[in-house]
Structure 1
């Protein structure tokens, strides 16, 4: 008698099961392909170019030439000193602001927590222009000093390395604040209470307990401050500082005449990438030396300050905000002012400059929003799955994926822009054009540059969703995409939205990378600001700057309402 094999299920179920295994694998493969093509390959190409001669032979001659050039060595030293100095100044300000906002209660605390976010989201290029209008040699401050005190020689407030340090500090101190606020909010107050119970005074507890426990967040913020300062070339160029690595990389690449200078621009870019990787590895190794985790989290009570303490806190934060907002005042006045020459303020006011950039030349605004929107779309499609892989799986290569995502934050925009020029300047098969000759390259490089923010925002939200919810859905047959769509996504949409919005805003303000790739008709707002200013049309540049500031301010309101202090997690 023939025995029948037991029924193993409907063929459609088996097909669905196979599809359920194949589709995730295909998705992971596409993510890796995207990162390999648009991140790893350009960086590898620029490193290869730096270590090869004109004939393609590997050599160290380019770096030997760099090491023998005193000007380049001075530029390297200046860049390192500027980065270290900016980290030091932003650390002092950032820690102070973070501690006041998290641990103290005073009038206006919520307002200051909102205002401290604006400088980091506002474009640095706009900030430096504003400083030149207010504190430049013929700016408002010097003109008033001349009128009131008979000053015969203007004071140099901003032109030089000290000016770059000032601008970068006021722009980047919120980076430290956000990361430290996030870390302070996670410290178990029982640790400080235990120290207090054995007689440790407030300052001792701060130095021995509180500050050391913020190390992971602080190191992440400090690394980003250093890299951001190290790679910024627009701010130094506007302030007349050329002996910095980023400035030399830009000037050597765009001159198009001397092949030696062009090659040295590539070498400098490769050196910046190598240094960024070294700093990133060193930072992660340093943080890994100790365990900074807490067994429990609870809300830390804020201490109500006395009237004297409140006066000091409000005075300090008000002075810092006033200094930080000087650029916005200058840009706002320049965008509507005429006849602002050797006078404290414009003598006439007009909306002509807004008409010119919005009506007559709308390409800057249209292009910026188009490219940033497409970049965010790519960030969501690629970034949310990456966040899910990091938070929910133990797939092979997961740590490498996390490392690449973190590396993006550390790679200077100048270097990645030059890397794209070198990597994709060849005709694509079947297209007949190089990728650098197609406008789509701009959304792609913006997506790579801002991908970590979407990943971090989504990842932080995924950590708050317990696996049991997804397991319960799987137990009733809702697996894979259906489980993610119906269960996970409704619970993490805030994190995805915050990360995507931050990616959008920072894409709008990106200057370092897109300046190398923008061709006629592709210009973004930041390219327009730089071009107008270099051409002597500072008022049009200011009008574009005001538009960016307005977008940033609205975005800060939304981000602050959705994320609050958790926003710092996107930088760590």
Structure 2
């Protein structure tokens, strides 16, 4: 319902939010564009022509597309298959499996890359067993195949969570009708279920593609010469021989344009295939027996255990004695002692910085979702569009944008010169992770009839009182669901933080990355285990607060 733009509480809040986005999102992106197309004060597209004229640079873009498309394909195959088995069949251990799947997705991809190096690297445990004990030919995990493996196993849980949520909205009578017409098994899966899931699959595929396309840590650790676009941007901006910020900015603009095109294509395809469905009789999980039961258990537990194997081994190695890059015999807590002694501030930073950012995210998400749904006008629609931009812009790009914009303050005035402080990381986390909580809050609010608020108005309740005491409590489940996703992704954030951190603002993901690069595997394993523990604790707390045994998107 459209309302006239009136000067009241909602007008003030919408203007404050709009100004915040203009300062911390539009201004940095405009600065990147300015840095890319103005060379020595003159308008020039030489940086772009350099990129497209030299195969060394343009090949990195091709590499990123190859990796992202391949990883998205495998993530879709694995995620949809597991979601189908999970939703259609009854078997033991579903809650445990779901927690493990979520843990596999919520840890930083570069930690998975580091773990797979320990397992399948040239000196990895599995590599040594296969080559030295079983006589397999030498192989390694580095390069294209290694990056795809890490992304596929790390990102298929996102597809699983999206599609599992969509399965709950499918009416069982549709499947029964298809079965009565002789459409069963694989035929029913492709002819009936997949078409019903297309909008959800497209949404999940976009998220997986963008996560793979924008990831910086995994190619840096496991790529070994297989250059990808985020790594190129990082290297051009921070180079040992003097970074080229103008060229890095032009690469950032290319990344934004590509991300925007993919996002719009996904939106168009989703809208074209969208439909509404009332699930009066949700799909019921069927009991299975015999060989079918064995196969379901093998697939579900087999894939999840493979995906979790790096995490399990990482936890195991965190208790081993280490000497730099070598794990020696015996177990101890030395790695944890060193981690707390040397990286204590980083551990504290990884808790209090995301915690402050989460408060900002929750407050802004509540107001933005309400404005977008209940107070529709030009300003609120603009805010809603702006809120989704960080969802598609790679983290490395945002990091460069913040550094360029706030190193000397806005317009070089010294105002908001927050580079090098904890504030710049808090702002970057808030801006980048806000879309998760907004989308979840919007979905929750849209299910609340406006007649409830109108009834409160008729009984004499002010708009603010109704909003605080009635609307927000009814939105709480959506707010919490989005907040937990924002929180967990903040815990594992690397691509932006690696550019913005200082000695005093280093976080655990940055500490893990730097310790791996330095060869301090014991400390890196201990820090990674602490991150995993925080993730698991957050998920269990979420499930307890919401009194839910399942988590979907």
Instruction: Quickly name the TM-score band, shorter chain normalised.
Output: over 0.9
Which SS does the other structure have where 1:255 is aligned? Answer: coil
Q: Distance in 1 between matches of 2:51 and 2:172?
A: 52
Hey, what does 2:268 align to over in structure 1? 285
Alignment deviations for residues 353-406 of structure 1 (CA, whole Å, 9 cap, x no partner) = 211222443110111111101110110111111111223232224443333333
Q: Which of 183, 201, 208 lines up with 1:218 in the alignment?
A: 201
Hey, what does 1:544 align to over in structure 2? 527
Alignment deviations for residues 446-477 of structure 1 (CA, whole Å, 9 cap, x no partner) = 00111012212322322332222222211111
The answer to whether structure 1 residue 134 and structure 2 residue 119 are counterparts is yes
Hey, what does 1:155 align to over in structure 2? 139
Hey, what does 2:29 align to over in structure 1? 43
Hey, what does 1:97 align to over in structure 2? 82
Q: Describe the shift of the 1:175–1:306 C-alpha distance in structure 2 as closer, same or farther (beyond 3 A).
A: same
Hey, what does 1:229 align to over in structure 2? 212
Superposed, 1:48-59 pairs within 5 Å as 48-53=34-39, 55-59=40-44
Shift of residue 568 of structure 1? Answer: 4.1
Shift of residue 21 of structure 1? Answer: 5.1
Q: Which of 217, 232, 239 lines up with 1:248 in the alignment?
A: 232
Q: Distance in 1 between matches of 2:505 and 2:226?
A: 27
Q: Distance in 2 between matches of 1:73 and 1:219?
A: 27
Q: Distance in 2 between matches of 1:539 and 1:376?
A: 30
Hey, what does 1:73 align to over in structure 2? 58
Q: Which moved more, 1:420-429 or 1:365-374?
A: 420-429
Q: Distance in 2 between matches of 1:166 and 1:432?
A: 45
Hey, what does 1:23 align to over in structure 2? 9
Number of residue equivalences: 545
Q: Distance in 1 between matches of 2:280 and 2:543?
A: 22
Hey, what does 2:498 align to over in structure 1? 515
Which SS does the other structure have where 1:338 is aligned? Answer: strand
Q: Distance in 2 between matches of 1:439 and 1:353?
A: 27
Q: Describe the shift of the 1:564–1:92 C-alpha distance in structure 2 as closer, same or farther (beyond 3 A).
A: farther
Shift of residue 24 of structure 1? Answer: 1.7
Superposed, 1:40-439 pairs within 5 Å as 40-53=26-39, 55-150=40-135, 154-156=138-140, 158-239=141-222, 240-255=224-239, 257-258=241-242, 261-339=244-322, 346-427=328-409, 434-439=417-422
Q: Give TM-score, length-normalised by structure 2.
A: 0.93
Hey, what does 1:529 align to over in structure 2? 512
- Note if contact 1:332-1:543 (Cα within 8 Å) is conserved in structure 2: yes
Q: Which of 418, 437, 445 lines up with 1:462 in the alignment?
A: 445
Q: Describe the shift of the 1:346–1:297 C-alpha distance in structure 2 as closer, same or farther (beyond 3 A).
A: farther
Which SS does the other structure have where 2:371 is aligned? Answer: helix
Which SS does the other structure have where 1:291 is aligned? Answer: coil
Which SS does the other structure have where 2:27 is aligned? Answer: helix
Shift of residue 109 of structure 1? Answer: 2.6
Q: Describe the shift of the 1:331–1:241 C-alpha distance in structure 2 as closer, same or farther (beyond 3 A).
A: farther
Q: Describe the shift of the 1:281–1:303 C-alpha distance in structure 2 as closer, same or farther (beyond 3 A).
A: same
**Which stretches in structure 2 are left out of the alignment for 5+ residues?**
1-5
Q: Describe the shift of the 1:238–1:133 C-alpha distance in structure 2 as closer, same or farther (beyond 3 A).
A: same
Q: Distance in 2 between matches of 1:147 and 1:229?
A: 34
Which SS does the other structure have where 1:273 is aligned? Answer: helix
Shift of residue 236 of structure 1? Answer: 0.8
- Note if contact 2:324-2:520 (Cα within 8 Å) is conserved in structure 1: no
Q: Which moved more, 1:232-241 or 1:355-364?
A: 355-364
Q: Distance in 1 between matches of 2:226 and 2:247?
A: 15
- Note if contact 1:387-1:458 (Cα within 8 Å) is conserved in structure 2: yes
Q: Which moved more, 1:301-310 or 1:135-144?
A: 301-310
